Structure 1
Amino acid sequence: MTAFARFLFGRRARLRWIHLILGGALAMPYVLVGSVVVGPVAGDANVFGSLRLQLASFAIGLPLAAVTSLFPLTRPLESGVVRWLCGVEADRLAYGPARTKGEKGRTAAWFTLHLGAGGIVAGMSLAVPPFAAALVLLPFVPALRDDRMGLPGVLHHTWALALAPFAGAAMLVALAGCAGVCGTLLARWAPALLGPSAEDRVAAAEARAADLAVRNRLARELHDSVGHALSAVTLQASAARRVLDSDPEFVREALAAIEDTTRRTVGELDAVLGVLRDGDAPGAAWDTAPARAPAPAPAPAPTLAADLDGLLRRTRAGGPRVTATVATDPETLPPLVSREAYRIVQEGLSNALRHAGEEVTVALRVEVLDDDLRITVENPLGGSRPVPRPGGGHGLRGIADRARLLGGAAEAGPDPEGPLWRLHVRLPLSDRR
């Protein structure tokens, strides 16, 4: 019973009733145009004095409504009204103008349906409540039973007077039920008639994929650059604290390394955030913001050729022994490969420092074999293991993503021949994908 009452008079039912009445209001201009045609044909100037002529005017006006629904703003406006008044989810509606013939046809069908159902319900909403109220009050207000009121003769009988209030209440419930059914049907049909087409869904999916790719790229850059800097600074500060009294010279070197690391990381962070300002970012072509003074150019992204030595120096400043074998000239690497290789080496060293500790030897090997750049990072197993960080563990996944985007591959795990953890990455130097 509660569900039935909510269906008739609940908040959603009332909003859908308003939606139907708005449709009736929109239908009125078309009905007036139809009456201009019906009046002369029927030979009756008082079109609205006859229900038959009113219906004929309504029938002529609806095709005119279908034609005017081709106006570009019809679908966006109707979609917005349906979302707020009919309770249809936003992702099931299209908010752009109808472009194809199919979209225009569905929009015309919806607009005609909305105005048709709205005109009927709006007309009933104007006519039924006064008559129902008169029936409810008929036994109690003698003036309503005056012959001049034009009531049917059957309503003057005693039994009819007794039933009149119930009939009036039943008419109001029937009106609410009619409005509820029409509103529910329109809400159910709205996604089919106003929903996005297959092309719209594909375009939306492509836009989401492009935005997700940008966010993932930014997340990888932040994880690798800032994460490595924080790991290195933590180790350097820890080593300096342990020898604060016994080796002041080492402490000065560690503090200098911390200063250099943080200063460089600020520059890298600026370069990482520059990803958001890339011209190939989604939506860049549609940027209509007023021209502003150009921002300072961000620092160039670090590369293996220009920044490997500094990365090794800052890593060693924290205490760990890092041996590096570079069997190729980084200057000969393609810029994209050099940039991604730097990030891979940076994250590989960070993982080794976090999981092996600062009192171990980390071996790095960079070489070119079979037209592939090979990067290997090894560290002994069994070092101190930090407590896992909430939300951590994305470093190896980021390395694999970088390698895969360049057509390469990454492998990480314990060495079956010894107590070593090995990260091995292969990056093609030529496009063989």
Structure 2
Amino acid sequence: MRRAARSLFGRRARLRWVHLILGGALAMPYVLVGSVIIGPATGGTDVFGSFPLQLASFGVGLPLAAVTSLFPLTRPLEAAAVRWLCGVDTDRLAFGPARTRGEKGRTAGWFTLHLGLGGIIAGMSLAVPPFAVVLIVLPVVAGLRGGRLGLPEVLDHAWALALAPVAGAAMLVALAGCAAGGGWLLARWAPALLGPSPEGRLAAAEARAADLAVRNRLARELHDSIGHALSAIGLQASAARRVLDSDPEFVREALAAIEDTTRRTVGELDAVLGVLREGDAPGTAPAPTLAADLDGLLRRTRAGGQRVTATVDTDLEVLPALLSREGYRIVQEGLSNALRHAGDRVAVDVRIAVASGALEITVENPVTGPAAVTAPVSSRPGGGHGLRGIADRVRLLGGTMTAGPAAGSSGRAAGSSGPAGESWRLHVRLPMKGPA
């Protein structure tokens, strides 16, 4: 019983009733225009004094409403009203103007349905409650009997007076039921008529996917750039502190490298944040590439005392711009991982070559302890996304990646102090032509 009462008189039912009455109010101008047409056409002088002529005017006005629904703001306004008053989820509605023929047709159908049902329910809401109240109070108000107010004389009988309050209450419940049913019908049809088309859903999904891809790429750029910079700065500062009194020249070089690293990272950070700030122009700092800054990357890494050897068996200038940029980030993250996990006392070997139509990048360093490098990056305290970020880049470029212990490596960096044949190797292979 309580559930039935809530469905007829609950908050949602009342809001949907208001939505229907708004539809009736919107229908009134069209009914007036229809009456101007119906009056001369039928010869009637009092259109609103005749119920059939009122219905005819209503029927003429609805097609006019369908035509005016092509106004661009109709769908956004109707969708907003449906969201607030009918309780339809936002993601099931389209709030932009109808552009295609199908969207315009569905909007016209919705507007006609809203005004049609709204006009009926609004008319009932005006006519039924006064009559129902009269029936309810008829047994106790003798002045309403005897044909007064145009009531039929049959209501003066004793049995009619006894049933009149029941009939009045039933009319009010029936009115609420009609309003609840009409509101439910509109809420049910709103997603189909005011919702996005399959093409619109696909376009929205593609836009969201593109936005997510951009944000993920920017997150990787920030992680790789700032993560490497902080690791390098920490290593350079630590090395400078250890030899502060004994080797002032090395300290000056380390401080210069920290300054250079900081300046470049701030420029890259500004460029990335410029993309994230809506309405701001992107930063002007160019994205680093292998061709433009590999030597600088190695120089800044070595400035902290890290022993890095690099072998480049290809002309970096002829690499595609995308491969050169992503390859730079992969080398940068490989060096960062070595700095974090192997320390500044271990040599790192970087090899870059083109073989069989693919760019191959290898970053390798000897293992100096049982868990110094073999633990994956994501398992270190505080988490981490280094290898995951590299894997995402490689996957998007259609390449392959392996990372882990490499026993018996013949390409270990010179001067390693770990056990013979034990090293940690990151190997990436990127096709020169791929899905990127």
TM-score between the two structures when normalised by the length of structure 1 = 0.86
Partner of residue 380 from structure 2, selected from 381, 385, 388: 388
Letter in 2 for 1:300: P
- Number of residue-to-residue matches in the alignment: 418
Identify the residue that residue 303 of structure 1 maps to in structure 2: 289
1:104-119 matched pairs, under 5 angstroms: 104-119=104-119
Question: What is the rounded CA distance, in whole Å, between the counterparts of 1:263 and 1:48 in structure 2?
Answer: 80
Change (3 A) 1:374 1:111: same
1:21, CA displacement in angstroms?
0.7
1:137, CA displacement in angstroms?
2.2
CA contact (8 A) 2:406 2:424 kept: yes
Question: What is the rounded CA distance, in whole Å, between the counterparts of 2:40 and 2:264 in structure 1?
Answer: 86
Supply the RMSD in Å over aligned alpha carbons.
2.9
Change (3 A) 1:299 1:251: same
Cα deviation code 1:387-432 (max 9, x no counterpart): 6354x44222322333344443322222254532211112334569
Identify the residue that residue 340 of structure 2 maps to in structure 1: 354
Instruction: Choose 129-138 or 265-274, whichever is displaced more.
Output: 265-274
Identify the residue that residue 377 of structure 1 maps to in structure 2: 363
Change (3 A) 1:235 1:3: farther
Question: What is the rounded CA distance, in whole Å, between the counterparts of 1:221 and 1:296 in structure 2?
Answer: 14
CA contact (8 A) 2:20 2:118 kept: yes
1:231, CA displacement in angstroms?
1.6
1:16 is the counterpart of 2:16: yes
Partner of residue 422 from structure 1, selected from 409, 421, 425: 425
1:206-221 matched pairs, under 5 angstroms: 206-221=206-221
Secondary structure of residue in 2 paired with 1:97 = coil
1:83 is the counterpart of 2:83: yes
Identify the residue that residue 47 of structure 1 maps to in structure 2: 47
1:9-158 matched pairs, under 5 angstroms: 9-158=9-158
Identify the residue that residue 186 of structure 1 maps to in structure 2: 186
Change (3 A) 1:90 1:432: closer
Instruction: Choose 61-70 or 79-88, whichever is displaced more.
Output: 61-70
Identify the residue that residue 304 of structure 2 maps to in structure 1: 318
Question: What is the rounded CA distance, in whole Å, between the counterparts of 1:260 and 1:408 in structure 2?
Answer: 32
CA contact (8 A) 2:274 2:282 kept: no
Cα deviation code 1:167-218 (max 9, x no counterpart): 3222222111110110011110111112211221222122222212221221
1:69, CA displacement in angstroms?
2.5
CA contact (8 A) 1:20 1:119 kept: yes
Question: What is the rounded CA distance, in whole Å, between the counterparts of 1:336 and 1:415 in structure 2?
Answer: 29
Instruction: Choose 90-99 or 125-134, whichever is displaced more.
Output: 90-99
CA contact (8 A) 1:76 1:94 kept: yes
CA contact (8 A) 1:356 1:383 kept: no
1:249, CA displacement in angstroms?
6.0
Cα deviation code 1:222-242 (max 9, x no counterpart): 111111111222233344455
1:402 is the counterpart of 2:393: yes
Letter in 1 for 2:144: L
Secondary structure of residue in 2 paired with 1:426 = strand
CA contact (8 A) 1:272 1:301 kept: no
1:411 is the counterpart of 2:402: yes
Unmatched runs of 5 consecutive residues or more in structure 2: 409-420
Secondary structure of residue in 1 paired with 2:359 = strand
Cα deviation code 1:254-288 (max 9, x no counterpart): 444333321221122234445569xxxxx9xxxxx
CA contact (8 A) 2:271 2:282 kept: no
Instruction: Choose 422-431 or 214-223, whichever is displaced more.
Output: 422-431
CA contact (8 A) 1:410 1:423 kept: yes
1:46, CA displacement in angstroms?
1.7
Secondary structure of residue in 1 paired with 2:326 = helix
Question: What is the rounded CA distance, in whole Å, between the counterparts of 1:51 and 1:68 in structure 2?
Answer: 26
Question: What is the rounded CA distance, in whole Å, between the counterparts of 1:151 and 1:192 in structure 2?
Answer: 45
1:335 is the counterpart of 2:338: no
Cα deviation code 1:72-99 (max 9, x no counterpart): 3322322222122111122222233333
CA contact (8 A) 1:98 1:107 kept: yes
1:372, CA displacement in angstroms?
2.7
1:341, CA displacement in angstroms?
1.6
Secondary structure of residue in 2 paired with 1:323 = strand
Change (3 A) 1:373 1:43: closer
Instruction: Choose 135-144 or 113-122, whichever is displaced more.
Output: 135-144
Identify the residue that residue 286 of structure 1 maps to in structure 2: none
Question: What is the rounded CA distance, in whole Å, between the counterparts of 2:291 and 2:259 in structure 1?
Answer: 23
1:162-181 matched pairs, under 5 angstroms: 162-181=162-181
Question: What is the rounded CA distance, in whole Å, between the counterparts of 1:367 and 1:170 in structure 2?
Answer: 87
Instruction: Choose 158-167 or 74-83, whichever is displaced more.
Output: 158-167
CA contact (8 A) 1:18 1:85 kept: yes
Cα deviation code 1:7-64 (max 9, x no counterpart): 1122221111111111111111222222233334444312222222222222222223
Question: What is the rounded CA distance, in whole Å, between the counterparts of 1:193 and 1:89 in structure 2?
Answer: 14
TM-score between the two structures when normalised by the length of structure 2 = 0.86
Question: What is the rounded CA distance, in whole Å, between the counterparts of 2:405 and 2:360 in structure 1?
Answer: 18
CA contact (8 A) 1:69 1:107 kept: yes
Unmatched runs of 5 consecutive residues or more in structure 1: 278-282, 284-288
Change (3 A) 1:42 1:9: same
Question: What is the rounded CA distance, in whole Å, between the counterparts of 1:129 and 1:393 in structure 2?
Answer: 68
Instruction: Choose 58-67 or 173-182, whichever is displaced more.
Output: 58-67
CA contact (8 A) 1:357 1:383 kept: no
